[in-house]
Homo-oligomer: A and B are copies of this chain.
Amino acid sequence: MASPSSMTTTSSTTSKLVFSGCSTSSSSSSSSSRRFLPLTTATTSSKCRAFHFHRRFNPLRHVHLRPCKNPTTVFSQTINRPSFIAAAMATEASAKVIDGKRVAKEIREEKACEDAGIKSFEACLPKDATEEEVLKHISSSNNDPAVHGILVQLPLPSHINEQNVLNAVCIEKDVDGFHPLNIGRLAMRDREPLFVPCTPKGCIELLHRYGVVIKGKRAVVIGRSNIVGMPAALLLQREDATVSVVHSRTKNPEEFTREADIIISAVGQANMVKGSWIKPGAVIIDVGINPVEDSESPRGYRLVGDVCYDEARQIASAITPVPGGVGPMTIAMLLSNTLISAKRIHNFN
């Protein structure tokens, strides 16, 4: 059910999470753009000219803005395409498998009527587009009352100031939740963000749906990125966990994870978290999506998480697989945020 364009978002997003200071070896490429190119390529269907907005009339709209490697590549589609994320399987594991694909499907079915009405449109600009051109597109979507959510595909080319572009998205349509005003409200007690960033929101939703108690528990977040680690830590703290944030400058991160009841890992380092890092019975949310070489795969690689799954599932009480864990939830939360936006704009309860 996930749209390929949303998938591109997810993978590009995750690709920024490089745990650069860690000495753990990894078979994944260090180049974030290279690492996720296969997924991006796999989901791209060359259609029409750059600068083109393909739009259909619909009350719920969602726009992607993305710099293209290939300036003639644009895609636009509804969300109703079959997902290509494989189902999770862990028949021998002691840990409960937290099936993000199933939960994401449930969430989409809970709002099936609205879901069917959400359309995704992509504005694909050439890679040498000026910042002004990007800002003009954003301004156009900001002012279009039929658009309820705007997503800027990161990373942007180096000649474009990412902060200027993200700041230009009006906060009422910032369904990514990356606007600093949203992050500030997320950080503050007694404040509410308009939108919670999709991936961390999906992580917490999985914990809720699987009945994991957060309040009073020790949580460790591995990674402190703006888009996953930092907001995930803020969300866990809002739920009354005691949170420690482990990052590339942390000495002996395993000393923290070994004490954790809940671990959220978002570093983009294949199989970094070993079984010996995990407290028996812990719950593990693995946000990493890392390609590792696999000659047996037709693609020449397969995707693994930050957590060594085969080891962890012997020790943890519950764990998300990769793929099929957090990934589908990110997309479901993006739809959820778009729906929230449309309801708010149209004064629905």
A residues adjacent to B (C-beta < 8 A): 163, 179-191, 215-216, 224-226, 230, 234, 237, 240, 242-247, 249-251, 256
The 8 Å CB contact of A245, one of B224, B237, B246, B250, is B237
Task: Indicate if the CB atoms of A230 and B188 lie closer than 8 Å.
Answer: yes
Given A184-B181, A189-B226, verify A245-B247 contact (CB < 8 Å): no
What's the Cα separation between A226 and B189 when bound, in Å?
Answer: 6
The 8 Å CB contact of A215, one of B190, B216, B249, is B249
Chain B residues near A246 (CB-CB < 8 A): 242
Number of chain copies forming the complex: 2
Chain B residues near A251 (CB-CB < 8 A): 216, 242
CB nearest to A246 among chain B residues: B242
Task: Indicate if the CB atoms of B216 and A250 lie closer than 8 Å.
Answer: yes
Task: Indicate if the CB atoms of A243 and B245 lie closer than 8 Å.
Answer: yes
Q: How far is the CB of A192 from chain B (nearest CB, A)?
A: 10
Q: How far is the CB of A75 from chain B (nearest CB, A)?
A: 29
Chain B residues near A244 (CB-CB < 8 A): 242-244
Chain B residues near A182 (CB-CB < 8 A): 184
The 8 Å CB contact of A184, one of B179, B237, B242, is B179
Listed A/B pairs (15) with beta-carbon separation below 8 Å: A180-B185, A180-B191, A181-B181, A182-B184, A184-B185, A186-B187, A187-B230, A215-B249, A216-B250, A237-B245, A240-B247, A242-B244, A242-B256, A243-B244, A243-B245
